[in-house]
Amino acid sequence: VIKCKAAVAWEAGKPLSLEDVEVAPPKAHEVRIKIVATAVCHTDAYTLSGADPEGCFPVILGHEGAGIVESVGEGVTKVKPGDTVIPLYIPQCGECKFCKNPKTNLCQKIRITQGKGLMPDGTSRFTCKGKQIYHFMGTSTFSEYTVVADISVAKIDAAAPLDKVCLLGCGISTGYGAAVNTAKVEPGSTCAVFGLGGVGLAVIMGCKIAGASRIIGIDLNKEKFAKAKEFGATECISPQDFKKPIQEVLVEMTDGGVDYSFECIGNVGVMRAALEACHKGWGVSVIVGVAAAGQEISTRPFQLVTGRTWKGTAFGDNVPKLVTDYMSKKIKVDEFVTHTLPFDKINEAFELMHTGK
């Protein structure tokens, strides 16, 4: 058993608490990882807020991490101690019907136990003050050591800087994959990206690499515009600057609507606007943002009858390949990092995220 520091969420709505925890050794087909760097994501904040119907407490959150394999359980062949890895919140078992289908990456092998905050055998590897602590998204990267299923790790280039590539564990790969794999953005096309946080910037980067000729960034916070342009946005607008709905503005700006739109906020009203900003006959709108529990999307069916497509995506790209692309300077990663803080300042990191900094 390893004793180490972890940020424990004892209950919903309270700040994380830095605690000494015990991390049990990995069982069969499990891997124990020394986490070197982790990022914070709105998904962690959503569960911490208490709004997540799958949220269980006490829990160690975190799902954008990178580290070094410390030890492996029986039967593990994919990785060995000393390997550099990124934990995957959507695993890749290679055996289920989802993994065997080239159309998706949504492996379901350990979905039930992962959703309950447990390892595949139905137990936890974390204890603190004599209490069992739940896992989160199969990763729990807010701990100096974590245990994950062997199908939930991607071995990556050992030379990669872990304080940067940890972002490929969720945000960047989700946004980038939404553009290049889900929407399959075509050269010369026009795109609109709603929400210019980390995921939105990754969508912009994907659209640019795919050859889009016009990429319109949309956000209420104009301080994000300069960064969006650095990533490839050709222009940026704020809905607050217009009297009419933003979808009408975009339809006028683009002679009938955009070819591709992306909702990167998790706001069902914006999801509707993003669909309705698409061009009749071929427009595709991709939902990337995660809305709160119980919310529903709506639009007039005529929007779809007249040839628009509504899609969704999660964690859309191959992590080791993205690391390689980053190392060969094909994609940006460093530019996504705004602040680097010591682990004990994790609550400050959440505050910076909530204030849009």
- With respect to residue 330, please indicate whether it lies within any of the assigned structural domains: no
Facing residues of 4 across strands? Answer: 21
Strands 284-287 and 309-312: parallel
CATH number at residue 179: 3.40.50.720
Strand, helix or coil for residue 115:
helix
Domain that holds residue 224: 172-312
Cβ-based neighbour number of residue 175 at 10 Å: 30
Residues 51 and 121 placed together within one structural domain of the fold = yes
CB 128 within 8 A of CB 19: yes
Parts of the chain with a pLDDT under 70: none
Q: Which residues contact 269 (CB under 8 A, 6 or more apart)?
A: none
Per-residue confidence (pLDDT) for residue 293, from 0 to 100: 86
As a whole number of angstroms, the distance between CA 135 and CA 32 comes to 13
Residues 125 and 176 placed together within one structural domain of the fold = no
Strands 131-133 and 126-128: antiparallel
Residues 347 and 307 placed together within one structural domain of the fold = no
Per-residue confidence (pLDDT) for residue 315, from 0 to 100: 86
CA 3 from centroid of its chain's CA atoms: 29
Cβ-based neighbour number of residue 106 at 10 Å: 15
- With respect to residue 167, please indicate whether it lies within any of the assigned structural domains: no
Per-residue confidence (pLDDT) for residue 17, from 0 to 100: 98
Residues 343 and 307 placed together within one structural domain of the fold = no
Mean pLDDT of the chain: 96
CB 186 within 8 A of CB 85: no
Task: Note the pTM of the prediction, 2 decimals.
Answer: 0.94
Residues 149 and 178 placed together within one structural domain of the fold = no
CATH number at residue 43: 3.90.180.10
Residues 55 and 8 placed together within one structural domain of the fold = yes
Per-residue confidence (pLDDT) for residue 292, from 0 to 100: 86
Place of tokens 């980067």: 205
Residues 136 and 275 placed together within one structural domain of the fold = no
Of 313, 4, 330, whose CA–CA distance to 145 is shortest? 4
CB 88 within 8 A of CB 319: yes
Report pLDDT digits (tens) over 18-47: 999 999 999 999 999 999 999 999 999 999
As a whole number of angstroms, the distance between CA 25 and CA 150 comes to 13
- With respect to residue 322, please indicate whether it lies within any of the assigned structural domains: no
Number of domains in the chain: 2
Report pLDDT digits (tens) over 48-64: 999 888 899 999 999 99
CB 202 within 8 A of CB 171: yes
Residues 9 and 138 placed together within one structural domain of the fold = yes
Facing residues of 30 across strands? Answer: 149
- With respect to residue 65, please indicate whether it lies within any of the assigned structural domains: yes
Strands of 91-213, DSSP E: 126-128, 131-133, 145-149, 153-155, 190-194
